[in-house]
Structure 1
């Protein structure tokens, strides 16, 4: 599932291609991804100019010249690609070649670019919101972990009052914006925290370590243009390169890179968690022995 790094990579990839461009029309190929009537979407966007592209949590935001905002949630398998407009004579699934084989909605821009929302499983969504509604929706998300609003003290304050598993707390978008299962598992491994531990058992020094590893893992993943497990593509159709850096996610049965214990996969909260049973004990580790490095 695309997370913060994947959404950020897409936004950076489309920003120059869409900013200042006028939307000529909107082609809806699969209306089930729309949280708005197709006719209303087309009427509201045709002739409008895109003022800019931003990200909020795992969402891609197209800011329009009238203050309204198109919210694109990538769901499980979504991508947004800026591609040269091909002839409309070929079937939709073959139109863009191998980079976009499941186009759901296409924004036709005035310069001949197609902004394609491609989603094979169609769990993603598109909303068109006026400015007040968009701002209200944005406020439902927690702090952005790569900004100054995300602090060690703020993380600690949130964790210590929750009895939820710490991995579940990290995935709650109301608590922290944009973190998903891949990067939560990686950050918890780097911080030596078991994902099933109750959040309230995390000590202050562990919260400080987790703050550091979250920012480090997410920053590195953004630089690598995200992680392609199966479906994710960047705005030009390329794969993310962070998959080769994964320490525990999807690595069950492999030796831990720190201690050579076997990485395990466990399921709770209807999702797989990946961990090293030696580096991430179920009980807190004393501060004097904790080391968040790889040695």
Structure 2
């Protein structure tokens, strides 16, 4: 599933061709994805201008001049790709329709944004922009890890008394929004903290060290266009490249990148998900 860097990469790719533009036609080619599309979604979006495109956790949010906000979640395999931009940012001609092109946005600048989702775990919703943060998917989220509300004091307080493994705590979207399996594994390696440690039993200075580690790995991943493991593509259809910089994720049995470490990366299963770590560098 795309994590924060992948969604932010998509947002940055879509913003130049969507912000300030009118959706002249919106095609909705099926009744639902993970859940049913909003009532009359195509009608409510057609002829409406996109004021801004922003991100909250792993959700894209398009604020519209109709007073509504379009929420988009890419799910496991969702892609939003751009074609036909007359300003020259995207040189791709409009492709032939594909089987899993579920929603297509035609913009007044000639661009076409296609939402393709073979597994249909993605989602879209429409809500009033005023009070959008009260939406059931957004109201439960913790602070953004790249924002001012996520800081050392906050994370130390959030971990106090927690008996869950630190990896599980960081995957809790109510503690910090947008982190997923890949970037939690990478951040824990950078901070030198074992994913097996109980969150509430890690000394405060070590918990505090996670904040810059998380920010560093996210910023590096965004700069690399995210990570492409299976389905993820940037808005121009290109792959992300951060997977080539993984220190631990997906590297079971490979040597640790730390000079003179001598250990190999191990994999364990936590809550049904693979965790990768170095048993020597992470304590």
Counterpart CA distance in 1 for 2:57 and 2:4 is 6
Deviations 1:239-276 (A, max 9, x none): 11111110000000101111121101111111110011
**How has the CA–CA distance of structure 1 residues 105 and 46 changed in structure 2, closer, same or farther, with 3 Å as cutoff?**
same
Alignment match, 2:90: none
SS in 2 for 1:232: coil
- The structure with more helix, counted as a fraction of residues: 1
Counterpart CA distance in 1 for 2:104 and 2:159 is 41
**How has the CA–CA distance of structure 1 residues 114 and 216 changed in structure 2, closer, same or farther, with 3 Å as cutoff?**
same
Deviations 1:40-59 (A, max 9, x none): 10121111111111100011
Alignment match, 1:271: 273
SS in 2 for 1:15: helix
**How has the CA–CA distance of structure 1 residues 22 and 35 changed in structure 2, closer, same or farther, with 3 Å as cutoff?**
farther
Counterpart CA distance in 2 for 1:91 and 1:236 is 16
Paired residues of 2:163 and 2:199 also in contact (CA < 8 A): yes
Please state if 1:116 is matched with 2:118.
no
Counterpart CA distance in 1 for 2:161 and 2:115 is 39
Paired residues of 2:187 and 2:214 also in contact (CA < 8 A): yes
Aligned length: 272
Alignment match, 1:207: 207
Which structure 2 residue ranges, 5 or more long, are not aligned? 86-92
Alignment match, 2:153: 153
Counterpart CA distance in 1 for 2:30 and 2:117 is 10
Deviations 1:62-98 (A, max 9, x none): 110122111111111222222228679x4434xxxxx
Alignment match, 1:173: 173
Quote the offset at 1:27 in angstroms. 1.4
Quote the offset at 1:140 in angstroms. 2.2
Quote the offset at 1:122 in angstroms. 1.5
Quote the offset at 1:30 in angstroms. 3.7
Deviations 1:160-201 (A, max 9, x none): 232121111111111111111100000001111111221101
Quote the offset at 1:202 in angstroms. 1.5
Alignment match, 2:263: 261
Alignment match, 1:25: 25
Quote the offset at 1:39 in angstroms. 5.2
Which structure 1 residue ranges, 5 or more long, are not aligned? 94-101, 282-295
Paired residues of 1:13 and 1:235 also in contact (CA < 8 A): yes
Please state if 1:248 is matched with 2:256.
no
TM-score calculated relative to the size of structure 1: 0.87
SS in 2 for 1:92: coil
Counterpart CA distance in 1 for 2:279 and 2:30 is 44
Alignment match, 2:141: 141
Counterpart CA distance in 2 for 1:275 and 1:30 is 42
- Once superposed, which parts of structure 1, at least 4 consecutive aligned residues long, lie more than 3 Å away? 34-39, 85-88
TM-score calculated relative to the size of structure 2: 0.90
Match of 2:103 among 102, 105, 113: 105
**How has the CA–CA distance of structure 1 residues 268 and 51 changed in structure 2, closer, same or farther, with 3 Å as cutoff?**
same
Moved more, 249-258 or 192-201: 192-201
**How has the CA–CA distance of structure 1 residues 260 and 29 changed in structure 2, closer, same or farther, with 3 Å as cutoff?**
farther
